[in-house]
């Protein structure tokens, strides 16, 4: 083993972001890193229920986390996608699933063959050709051989943070209780030298990770890295969140229900619902939002609380010897459940670029370029839901339908509308089928399709499509009810009443 001193990494802030970073570093880097996390029990974290996406399954596997244990500890359920209500127009619904639709050809996605079949008189909805979508809408779930079911989780974010804290501390992370009173900068380099806590404790480090939420206490408060405001594309600026009793058995999907000034979420955990309302304060008052939320959920289990936010990104998420992770690095409203994913990407990317001695400006540039591309692609996907809509029934919907959008999104929409094609760039999170499901679900109809679809005879088209539907129907028929499978596989005790 090398005699080199371990890299001193200090994480400011706990919550999901801080403890994901701590658990991953402690487990993968071991004694090569001297790891400290500073947090205060007096400072709350955001999270009443967290909807996630499939890459978190792999993140947990990287950390060697047994899935049933994790799900019991976090009151988790399975998630096969998101049900969008009232987005295309009031009363309409579509499902964005995690699965693949139909069968692709190397030259063209399944949507081209479906569009061709529809032109020939085929009337089956595109939704009928995705296993995860059909299973989700029927409220069914089970693990399938060869990972044929692509899924994610609904988790209690607070419990997930506690679970990761136990892992991190067992693997050598030192937790320090205290509020950060002052960030000390090196007089020569301008880097962060130490954190000063209430009570005059001083904690030095080589690298600092800012997980202090929207405040960005290190990256903004001390280093002034700057913030790029995206509210001209993402006008929602407020939310109210609550935990409530279930109105029915937990389903394997999140609900995103549009209203006249934003949307509501419903995230089903094993013994409760995480619910909330997102809105633009210029179009809906806080009292109206509160009444609308509370009239649509079960009996509340906690006092609802408010969250104010602004969509955007730090101009540099790695600046000097500080990396901003989670809400400190940037924020896109959680319409597509990407908050935890952006944390995960930052955590794994930071570990890959962990300094070995001095901080490399090249590493920081690479981190910033990749993180920015990630959040820009997610931003475009979220903006799509607002821009591509037939709703004109309120000032909010008229505003978002008319607003200019990023050129990158405009190009994607125009390409799909003209040709039915979707091209992904640089490890883009959302696959072709995600873009297709949402664009068609929001009402964007392709005017053409790939000519290879014309190659099939009518009888071949019918056999192909029938075989896909039959295979899905046969598989779904064997699946148990989601809530029954969860109870058997990872059932957790109901929390005791306070």
Max intra-chain CA distance, the chain? 79
Q: For the chain, first and last CA: distance in Å?
A: 50
Give the model's confidence band at 497: pLDDT under 50 very low, under 70 low, under 90 confident, else very high. Answer: low
The torsion region of residue 102 among left (phi > 0), alpha (psi -120 to 50) and beta comes to: left
Phi, psi angle pair for 146, to nearest 5°: 60, 30
Nearest CA-CA partner of 86 in 403, 434, 390, 333: 390
Is the pLDDT confidence value at 160 over 90? yes
In CATH, the number for domain 238-308 is 3.30.70
8 Å CB contact between 173 and 185? no
Q: What is the pLDDT of residue 419?
A: 97
Q: What is the pLDDT of residue 405?
A: 98
Q: What is the pLDDT of residue 496?
A: 73
**7-77+155-228+311-377 matches 238-308 in fold:** no
Give the model's confidence band at 329: pLDDT under 50 very low, under 70 low, under 90 confident, else very high. Answer: very high
210-255 tens-digit pLDDT: 999 999 999 999 999 999 999 999 999 999 999 999 889 999 999 9
Q: What is the pLDDT of residue 43?
A: 76
169-215 tens-digit pLDDT: 999 999 999 999 999 999 999 999 999 999 889 999 999 999 999 99
CB atoms < 10 A from the CB of 497, how many? 5
Residue 481 to residue 52: CA distance in whole angstroms: 21
Residue 155 to residue 351: CA distance in whole angstroms: 24
Q: Determine the angle formed by the axes of helices 339-352 and 15-29, rounding to 10 degrees.
A: 30
Nearest CA-CA partner of 332 in 386, 287, 295, 284: 386
Q: What is the pLDDT of residue 294?
A: 97
Q: 7-77+155-228+311-377 belongs to which homologous superfamily?
A: FAD/NAD(P)-binding domain (3.50.50.60)
SS3 400: helix
Taking the CA atoms of the chain, what radius of gyration do you get in angstroms?
A: 23
Domain range annotation of the chain: 7-77+155-228+311-377, 99-136+382-477, 238-308
Q: What is the pLDDT of residue 428?
A: 87
Integer angstrom CA distances of residue 330 from 173, 225, 299, 333, 381: 26, 12, 33, 10, 16
pTM, rounded to two decimals: 0.95
145-154 tens-digit pLDDT: 988 899 999 9
431-459 tens-digit pLDDT: 999 999 999 999 999 999 999 999 999 99
């Amino acid at each position: 083993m090398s005699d080199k001193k371990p890299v001193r990494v200090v994480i400011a802030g706990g919550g999901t972001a801080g403890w994901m970073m701590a658990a991953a570093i402690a487990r993968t880097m071991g004694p090569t890193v001297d790891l400290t996390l500073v947090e205060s029990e007096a400072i709350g974290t955001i999270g009443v229920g967290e909807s996630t996406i499939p890459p978190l399954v792999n993140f947990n596997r990287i950390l060697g986390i047994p899935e049933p244990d994790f799900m019991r500890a976090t009151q988790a359920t399975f998630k096969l996608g998101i049900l969008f209500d009232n987005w295309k127009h009031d009363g309409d619904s579509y499902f964005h699933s995690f699965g693949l639709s139909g069968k692709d050809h190397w030259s063209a996605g399944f949507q081209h063959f479906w569009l061709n079949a529809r032109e020939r008189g085929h009337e089956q909805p595109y939704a009928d050709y995705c296993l995860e979508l059909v299973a989700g809408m029927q409220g069914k779930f089970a693990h399938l051989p060869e990972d044929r079911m692509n899924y994610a989780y609904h988790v209690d974010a607070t419990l997930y943070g506690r679970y990761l804290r136990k892992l991190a501390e067992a693997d050598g992370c030192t937790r320090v209780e205290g509020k950060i009173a002052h960030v000390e900068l090196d007089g020569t380099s301008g880097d962060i030298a130490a954190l000063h806590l209430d009570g005059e404790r001083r904690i030095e480090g080589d690298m600092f990770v800012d997980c202090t939420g929207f405040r960005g206490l290190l990256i903004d408060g001390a280093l002034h890295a700057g913030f790029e405001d995206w509210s001209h594309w993402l006008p929602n600026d407020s939310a109210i969140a609550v935990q409530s009793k279930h109105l029915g058995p937990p389903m394997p999907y999140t609900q995103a229900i549009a209203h006249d000034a934003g949307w509501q979420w419903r995230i089903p955990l094993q013994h409760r619902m995480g619910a909330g309302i997102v809105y633009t304060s210029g179009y809906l008052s806080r009292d109206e939002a509160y009444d609308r939320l509370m009239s649509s959920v079960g009996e509340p289990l906690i006092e609802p609380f408010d969250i104010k936010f602004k969509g955007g990104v730090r101009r540099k998420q790695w600046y000097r010897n500080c990396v901003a992770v989670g809400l400190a690095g940037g924020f896109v409203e959680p319409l597509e459940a990407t908050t935890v994913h952006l944390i995960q990407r930052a955590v794994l990317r930071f570990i890959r670029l962990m300094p070995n001695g001095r901080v490399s400006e090249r590493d920081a540039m690479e981190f910033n370029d990749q993180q920015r591309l990630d959040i820009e692609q997610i931003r475009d996907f979220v903006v799509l839901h607002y821009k591509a809509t037939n709703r004109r029934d309120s000032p909010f919907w008229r505003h978002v339908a008319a607003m200019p959008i990023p050129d990158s999104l405009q190009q994607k929409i125009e390409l799909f509308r003209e040709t039915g094609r979707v091209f992904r760039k640089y490890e883009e999170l959302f696959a072709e089928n995600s873009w297709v499901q949402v664009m068609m679900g929001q009402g964007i109809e392709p005017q053409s399709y790939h000519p290879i679809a014309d190659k099939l005879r009518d009888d071949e088209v019918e056999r192909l499509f029938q075989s896909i539907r039959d295979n899905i129907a046969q598989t779904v028929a064997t699946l148990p009810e989601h809530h029954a499978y969860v109870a058997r596989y990872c059932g957790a005790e109901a929390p005791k009443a306070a």
